[in-house]
Amino acid sequence: MKLSDLYVEENLILTTVNKAFKWARASSLWPLSFGLACCAIEMMATGASRYDLDRFGAGVFRGSPRQADLMIVAGAVTHKMAERLKLLYEQMAEPKYVIAMGSCALNAGPFNLHSYSVLKGVDLIIPVDVYVPGCPPRPEALLHGLIKLREKIQAKESKEGISLSGARRNIQQG
């Protein structure tokens, strides 16, 4: 038995600082809304009372990248918007996470073959942690992507002690 699994009394649990920080980060994500098209309607529905994004600790959409640690890119990203998206991503504090929502954000969706102005995937300019496919994906799919991101944050191993920033691996769900 490890010390971190030991229950000393009924209301006391022993753990490590890293596990506590991972739990806290996964339980209070502050998303930066970056809704660009029809997927943004589904993202707003996920934040409304029926699906209640607040129960996962991510209900307060931030208007500033300096106050956010999760960027949800929902919709088609044009080449003109791509540089602003990258700038907003760079302004976010570490650790930062990205969910790409919808076929347009993943691979330009229906604009893939015949549009010169739409980026062929948001992962070409910023690293994406979780992909949520669909056109547009239902709110349940976005909630599933958020749960996968929380699992990824809690499972991430840290080599620098408390700092949990580092290399990202893409989790593709489908």
| pTM for this model (two decimals) | 0.78
Beta-carbon contacts of 81 under 8 Å, excluding residues fewer than 6 positions away, are 36
**Strand arrangement, sheet containing 97-101:** 31-35, 70-74, 97-101, 130-132, 171-172
Residue 59: count of CB within 10 angstroms of its CB: 15
Domains along the chain with CATH numbers: 18-172 (3.40.50.12280)
pLDDT at 161: 35
Q: Cβ-count burial of 32 within 10 angstroms (0-12 exposed, 13-18 middle, 19+ buried)?
A: buried
pLDDT at 157: 54
For residue 61, pLDDT over 70 is answered with: yes
At residue 8 the predicted structure's pLDDT band, cuts being 50, 70 and 90, is low
- What does the alpha-carbon distance between residue 65 and residue 81 come to, in Å, rounded to a whole number? 15
Mean pLDDT of the 50-56 span: 82
Point out which residues pair with 132 in neighbouring strands: 101
Look at residue 59 and give its three-state secondary structure. Answer: coil
Q: Are 59 and 47 in contact (CB under 8 A)?
A: yes
